[in-house]
């Protein structure tokens, strides 16, 4: 459990600045067991960069391969030259739990580099993840250095939900340990009403360079209440530069709306 000790008010603290200058491209919620789409709003078929939501897939790869051991091993040191646009929080030793919590991009790159390009591609193809193209940008085509961020890999909200259904149902070709550890490090909070939330934010943009004025914001994951599990994806896009990341705002707005989104289904 990563943030369970954090009050729900903290999780939703960003709502005051929510998505006033962002449009919601898609919200989709599905029942994990029946695969029935319960909510589908907006354009949910177009593919965009998955950005840091792909860390769920990288986690499965890393734990299955044995490079990642558990929530707190290995601890990898920050080194000069690593990407550090996340600020001071990215310039510290990082373990798998911290990697997901602070969305540390260089840690992802260490996992994918350890896999190597061929095995990285094999996993992504086996997961049937979006367009499954982790070749990266030409001319280098070095996908292990970030094919998932404004690069070759693309996925739609509906494809996110399809992938997450296979994660929840444990229908991907990885070990039970990989599923267990990924479930553990992606836990966020429990909402009023008993929905236990696992998920990952992501922030990217169109094109190969980051366009902060038109950022995409993702929040994808699963919500469990008793025997019932829902999988979900929300994608927003900014219309101007915002102080907070688009992914965080997508998460906060979705968590606020989730009880109302699913309440008609429960009746």
Chain segment 53-74, per-residue pLDDT in tens: 999 999 999 999 999 999 999 9
Of 103, 79, 83, nearest in space to 93 by CA: 79
Residue 132 lies in a domain: yes
1 assigned to some structural domain: no
What average pLDDT score do residues 188-207 get?
A: 94
Task: Report percent pLDDT > 90 for the chain.
Answer: 83
2 within some domain:
no
Domain assignment of residue 3, yes or no:
no
Q: Which of 54, 248, 246 is nearest to 151 (CA)?
A: 54
187 within some domain = yes
264: confidence class by pLDDT, cuts 50, 70, 90: low
pLDDT band at 15 (very low <50, low <70, confident <90, very high): very low
pTM of the model: 0.91
Indicate whether 241 belongs to any domain: yes
Q: What is the pLDDT of residue 18?
A: 43
| Residue 254 belongs to domain spanning | 8-266
In a domain? residue 161: yes
Closest CA to 231 of 37, 45, 44: 37
CATH number at residue 238: 3.40.710.10
CA proximity to 19, closest of 249, 235, 240, 218? 249
Residue 197 within a domain: yes
- Give the model's confidence band at 11: pLDDT under 50 very low, under 70 low, under 90 confident, else very high: very low
How many domains are there within the chain?
1
User: Residue 5: is its pLDDT beyond 50?
Assistant: no
Active site residues: 52
Mean pLDDT confidence for 20-35: 91
């Amino acid at each position: 459990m990563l943030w369970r000790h954090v009050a729900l008010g903290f999780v939703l603290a960003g709502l005051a600045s929510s998505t006033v200058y962002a449009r919601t491209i898609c919200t989709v919620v599905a029942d994990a067991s029946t695969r029935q789409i319960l909510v589908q709003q907006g354009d949910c078929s177009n593919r965009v960069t998955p950005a840091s939501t792909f860390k769920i897939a990288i986690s499965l790869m890393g734990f299955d391969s044995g490079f990642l051991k558990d929530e707190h091993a290995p601890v990898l040191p920050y080194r000069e030259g690593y990407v550090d646009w996340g600020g001071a929080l990215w310039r510290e030793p990082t373990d798998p739990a911290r990697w997901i919590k602070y969305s540390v991009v260089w840690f992802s790159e260490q996992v994918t580099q350890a896999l190597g390009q061929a095995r990285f591609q094999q996993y992504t193809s086996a997961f049937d993840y979006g367009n499954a193209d982790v070749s990266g940008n030409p001319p280098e085509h070095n996908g292990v250095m970030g094919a998932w961020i404004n690069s070759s890999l693309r996925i739609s909200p509906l494809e996110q939900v399809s992938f997450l259904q296979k994660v929840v149902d444990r229908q991907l070709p990885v070990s039970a340990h990989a599923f267990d550890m990924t479930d553990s490090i992606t836990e966020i909070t429990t909402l009023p009403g008993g929905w236990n939330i696992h998920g990952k934010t992501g922030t990217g943009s169109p094109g190969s360079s980051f366009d902060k004025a038109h950022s995409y914001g993702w929040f994808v994951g699963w919500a469990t209440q008793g025997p019932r599990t829902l999988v979900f994806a929300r994608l927003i896009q900014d219309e101007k530069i915002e102080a907070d990341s688009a992914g965080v705002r997508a998460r906060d707005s979705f968590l606020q709306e989730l009880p109302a989104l699913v309440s008609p289904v429960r009746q």
